[in-house]
Chains A and B, each alone.
Chain A
Amino acid sequence: MTLLEVRDLSVTFTRSGQQPVRAVDGVTFDVAAGQSVGIVGESGSGKSVTSLAVMGLLPSRGVSVGGTVTLDGNELTSMDQRELRDVRGRDVAMIFQDPMTSLNPVVTNGKQLVEVLTRHAGLSKGEAKTEAEQLLRRVGIPDPVRRLGEYPHQLSGGMRQRVMIAIAIACRPKLLIADEPTTALDVTIQAQILDLLRTLVAESGCGMIMITHDLGVVAGLCDDVHVMYSGRIVESAGTKDLFARPSHPYTDGLLQSIPRIDDDDPADLLHTIPGSARDTVAWDRGCAFQPRCERAVAECLSGPPAVTELGTPIVPHPVRCLRPVGEDVSLHEGNVAR
């Protein structure tokens, strides 16, 4: 059963006196109940804007949002802020990237946890306190009673992110959006936080969108993965399928830049995609990845590249590329013939 349906979502920032910026462009994906979906892409590819659009958290001024977002049959994109406030924190909750700045420094951890419970779960302050204590225990924070009375700055980064997670799961949301929840943390802590998320999602049966720039993060966590580039999804597949058969040159580059332990050749260890995300082409002129693509041909700059379905109707694997990796022979010959 589909929990979240995102259809043709686009977000354009319009600043007076400046060229409008289309940060998200025709993004479509589903999250089934209990499913974990990864959105992967470099910094600036539009992942955060996508998640904020789903939450209805984009500013009303200077932003235009197109397409629809439907949660459990309710269309969020047609709700006003008052209706959205009832949904946010209760049905869909979000964990942000930087736990150092995402908690209010002058309010106790306890209050920041209690306030969401009293707002949505209909608990009294006393009940909410007891519940908050249990939540902290669930996310692995020792000595929860003391921690509730403390302020965020008295906790380490990892502990703060656990508090953020406790806040997010407090009202048992149907959907959890985690926007790079481990990027700001130490490597050792990252694995612990991912483990915690995996456990919590499995226990509660909620759906999750895991946003990351690191394909390694989605490997053990997500069922499906969508790879974003310059505001568009360029490849979607089941996680195993994607790792086995990366088909968009960008996905392929991302996979190759994950350091592999079994690789002896030091030259292969640090493979990186040439150029940066700033070297881009507007999608309606051609493939945005073209300036960095080793497989690019002239046709890549004649309009937006069409989507090729490499999977089956039951196990889809669409790729937005004219010359997907591993499919080059036929296409290459085709080009030569022309």
Chain B
Amino acid sequence: MLRFIVRRLLLLVPILLGLSVLLFAWVRALPGGPAQALLGERATPEAVAAIESQLGLDRPLWEQYLQFLGRAVRLDFGASLQTGQPVIDEMLRRFPATIELAVAALLIAVCVGIPLGYLAARRYGTWVDSLAVTGSLLGVTIPIFFLAYLLKYVFSVELGWLPTAGRADPRARAEHPTGFYVLDGIITGNLDASWDAIQHLILPAVALASIPLAVIVRITRASVLNVVNEDYVRTAEAKGLLPGTITRRHVLKNAMLPVTTVIGLQLGVLLAGAVLTETVFAFAGVGKFMADAIVQRDFPTIQGFILVIAVVYVVINMIVDLVYGLLDPRVRVS
């Protein structure tokens, strides 16, 4: 178990090294170089030279790379060009918001997707099935951006049921010891603040959940359809077991294996989708910060964001593999 974790973490080293080279090369390849990109096309040569020496861009490439790497190892990605604060601080401050959003979206996707996929499989060929299949096709094809605006327009602007933007009502007084607003409300005994945070979460979370939800419905449906035809399910029937036991112990337990893998893969999609969703709902998370960074050519932030996301992605996948091992004894790590 420990060896497995260590091995997976060691796997991060080549991944991050490769990524760092790519990122480094990418920034250098910006038209006119990073300094020009930063200052815009009409910048004077003097200004460009000043920025270049300030950022160390006038030194040899390998030296720049080593410096970049040395700093990145210490999580020092430089200062954000938007705020002047260290990139890592800016990200750490915003991470709870994004995690909260991603967890909410994943909860929706899992809690709705698995039962729906199961139902579609058991009602194979009926209208319930067709509805689930069409719906999930729609879910993966509608751009998140569009869906987010649509939800916002219908449920906030037109119906006024839910807040249009932000993470909390700006007038509300609430303390935030952890940065996870829903959790903070519970910790500080301020349940109104939690409820407020949840209301702000619903629309962005639904928008963000659309793709994972659709994918989970499809994979659950396909997986259940496969498993119900397996010999061991027939064995269970031949034993005269009750339908509930067969469903839980023999169908779902096996059908969930591919679903687990897919959920892991969808976490990457969630992080990417957060950039769009957070922008639409002015949700102050890492994603919105990243979107702003792209617009502002804030390349230290972009670099830091991508490296951190890579680490998060690998760690999440490691956790998914561990969970998979718990569910499937055949791949259980000793």
Contact = CB atoms under 8 A, between A and B. Distances in A.
A106 B253 contact: yes
B328 to A, nearest CB: 6
Nearest to A84: B240
A138 interface: no
Contacts of A98: 231
A93 B235 CA distance: 10
Given A151-B329, A151-B330, A104 B239 contact: no
Interface string B234-249: 1111111110010001
Contacts of B241: 85, 89, 115-116, 119
Contacts of A208: none
Interface residues of B, number: 22
Contact of A89 (B231, B232, B238, B254): B238
Nearest to B237: A57
A223 B329 CA distance: 42
Contact of B329 (A88, A105, A167): A105
User: Which bucket holds chain A's interface residue count?
Assistant: 20 to 34
Contacts of B249: 104, 107, 111, 115
A314 B249 CA distance: 49
User: Which of B232, B234, B250, B330 lies at the interface centre, i.e. has the most chain A CB atoms within 10 A of its CB?
Assistant: B232
B234 to A, nearest CB: 7
Contacts of B327: 106
A104 B238 contact: no
B230 interface: yes
A87 B237 CA distance: 11
A148 interface: no
B242 A104 contact: no
Nearest to B250: A104
A96 B234 CA distance: 9
A120 B240 contact: yes
Contacts of B232: 101-105
Nearest to A51: B238
B240 A106 contact: no
Contacts of B239: 88-89, 93, 115-116, 119, 167
A207 B237 CA distance: 21
Contacts of B240: 84-90, 116, 119-120
Given A93-B238, A102-B231, A104-B253, 16 more contacts: A88-B238, A96-B238, A101-B232, A102-B234, A104-B235, A104-B236, A105-B254, A106-B257, A106-B329, A106-B330, A111-B249, A116-B240, A119-B239, A119-B245, A153-B329, A164-B235
